[in-house]
Structure 1
Amino acid sequence: MSPEPLLRARDLVKEFPVAGTAGLLRPARRFTAVDTVSFDLHAGRTLALVGESGSGKSTTARLAARLIDVTSGTVHLDGRDITALHGQDLLEVRRQVQVVFQDPFSSLNPRHTVERIVTAPLRYQKRPIPGGTRSVARALMERVGLDPDHVGRYPAQFSGGQAQRIGIARAIAVNPRVLVCDEAVSALDVSVQAQIINLLRELQREEGFGCLFIAHDLAVVRQIATSVAVMTGGRVVEAGERDAVFDDPQHEYTRQLLAAVPRIRPEWDARRRSNVTGATT
């Protein structure tokens, strides 16, 4: 593993104004969704940000991908500070950092064919399309395990798992350095989740991208992550290699999350119960 992280976030803070609180004699209140969050993501590895709904993990991912602006803190991509980039410079960041969203159908234009959808990043980036969009779309469909003859179909003609594969095909079309998966499997059936996770791991082995994986399901995280950062209340309360966090959690909140997970492996379940018991005696 290279000592220099592919994506580095330091002391990220994101505040949002609270509606209806401003007045003549008082300033508007602000809600801190992300509070001094730092992490490193290396090429070829998967960092999972985990926590309950409202913990700040998705907002953190959006800050890292520059989908929203930071209130304070910095984001570096390949050693370059991308925190305040705009215009053409930010467009290049968009190529290098792609996002797979939670609900595939809401992120795919229902009036566009698959061919148009998966090649959209190439057109947006004004990149050459050797052989034309039909040829590129067919190759992308094949890479994600879908029938290349279906490039003329529309999103409504696919299942949820197939639609998510289309979303992944669109994301990898521009060969990103970082793939942000924001609850990318949470809306899918368990068997389909496993298929998508296997696909992401296979693509990562082939392409070497770093993956920032946002999830609340620790059973899924155990399958895909190489490292984990646990968030609550907008802060990271525990971070480390996956097995260290799962097998020997140090923070009470992490132990509570693990205690709520259905049994995955008997030996993990036994260690988890022992950790929770030891923390409460």
Structure 2
Amino acid sequence: MRATGLVKEFGGGGLRRRRPFRAVDDVSFAIPRGQTLALVGESGSGKSTTARMAAHLVEPTAGRIELEGEDVTRLRAEALARFRSRVQVVFQDPFSSLNPRHSVEQIVTAPLRYQGRRVPGGERAFTRALMERVGLDPDHSRRLPRQFSGGQAQRIGIARALAVDPSVVICDEAVSALDVSVQAQVIELLVRLQAEQQLSYLFIAHDLAVVRQIAQQVAVMSQGRVVESGPREQVFDAPQHEYTRALLGAVPRIPAEWDAARRAMVEQQTVQEEMA
């Protein structure tokens, strides 16, 4: 996926001829196949609006989005439906993005019905295989979202995104609502799925500690603009912009023994979930 000169303005006009608010201003990026680009910045920096434009949930005021060489900026009807199968979104709050009245099977297979697809072996077998793939018990396919923990519900959201075999997955603050130990488990899952499927991720986050675990490329946004971008090591170890340095300076430093204890706790919880 490639974006060039993205601009998004809101409001403006009216009797007082108010100027529109420019939430995103001339943002460009490229995500190679099988890699992760993280968009980072404070709340209001424009990163989520950029993600929504990339997902075709919001139409840009100006600029261009390309997917596999095709301009997908202003798709309609059947072309938009095809785009939906190539680009999927994992949202921040798993419970608000899952229909509370639908079972896991209904949720996971909803994109298939939207696309008019049939799967060999039927939807039940398809759902069970996908649940197993994201670390959920296939026997729970008829449960409702409220019967799962937050981390498990986010795995359902990831399974739904994978159902139509996308090439790009946009993770909009996908782990920020989870406990730290559960965050690590979901990040580990995303990394594994990326390696298996050569997925490209646009990863929206404000937590630089999380970004360092998953991203190969980082773009730092402030007031609607990208102020710094480059390989992860370059941005983290030799930041050029004062805003990037300020963000990095705000990241808590965790003593090595605390980090080792945290990792041990994550491994123990993972084993317990697998045995449950």
| Matching residue of 1:250 | 240
| Matching residue of 1:44 | 34
Find 2:6's aligned residue among 5, 12, 22. 12
Q: Distance in 2 between matches of 1:132 and 1:56?
A: 41
| Matching residue of 2:24 | 34
SS at match of 1:146: coil
SS at match of 1:9: strand
SS at match of 1:70: coil
Q: Which amino acid aligns with 2:236?
A: F
Within 5 Å, give how 1:169-248 maps onto structure 2. Answer: 169-248=159-238
CA shift, 1:22, in A, is 2.3
Q: Distance in 1 between matches of 2:79 and 2:67?
A: 12
Q: Distance in 2 between matches of 1:252 and 1:176?
A: 37
Q: Distance in 2 between matches of 1:94 and 1:56?
A: 22
Q: Distance in 2 between matches of 1:29 and 1:237?
A: 24
Q: Which amino acid aligns with 1:244?
A: Q
Find 2:116's aligned residue among 109, 126, 133. 126
| Matching residue of 1:147 | 137
CA shift, 1:264, in A, is 4.8
Is the CA contact 1:219–1:264 (under 8 Å) kept in the aligned structure 2? no
Q: Distance in 1 between matches of 2:133 and 2:8?
A: 37
CA shift, 1:41, in A, is 0.4
Task: Show CA shifts across 1:121-155 (max 9, x none).
Answer: 11111112211111111011000000000000000
SS at match of 1:117: helix
TM (norm. structure 1) is 0.89
CA shift, 1:28, in A, is 3.6
SS at match of 1:119: helix
Find 1:168's aligned residue among 158, 162, 169. 158
| Matching residue of 2:126 | 136
SS at match of 1:202: helix
| Matching residue of 2:89 | 99
Task: Show CA shifts across 1:171-192 (max 9, x none).
Answer: 0011100000000000000000
Q: Which amino acid aligns with 1:51?
A: G
Q: Which amino acid aligns with 1:136?
A: F
| Matching residue of 2:268 | none
| Matching residue of 1:79 | 69
Q: Which runs of 4+ in 1 moved over 6 A?
A: none
Q: Distance in 1 between matches of 2:239 and 2:255?
A: 17
| Matching residue of 1:22 | 14
Q: Which amino acid aligns with 2:133?
A: R
Q: Identity of counterpart residues, as a percentage?
A: 68
Q: Distance in 1 between matches of 2:25 and 2:211?
A: 23
Q: Distance in 2 between matches of 1:130 and 1:97?
A: 22
Consecutive unaligned residues in structure 2, runs of 5 or more: 257-276
TM (norm. structure 2) is 0.91
Consecutive unaligned residues in structure 1, runs of 5 or more: 1-6, 267-281
SS at match of 1:32: strand
Q: Which amino acid aligns with 1:238?
A: E
Equivalent pairs counted in the alignment come to 256
RMSD across aligned C-alpha pairs, in angstroms? 1.1
Q: Distance in 2 between matches of 1:199 and 1:64?
A: 23
Bigger mean CA offset, 213-222 vs 28-37: 28-37
Q: Distance in 2 between matches of 1:237 and 1:55?
A: 11
| Matching residue of 1:62 | 52
SS at match of 1:231: strand
SS at match of 2:156: helix
| Matching residue of 1:4 | none
Q: Distance in 1 between matches of 2:72 and 2:255?
A: 41
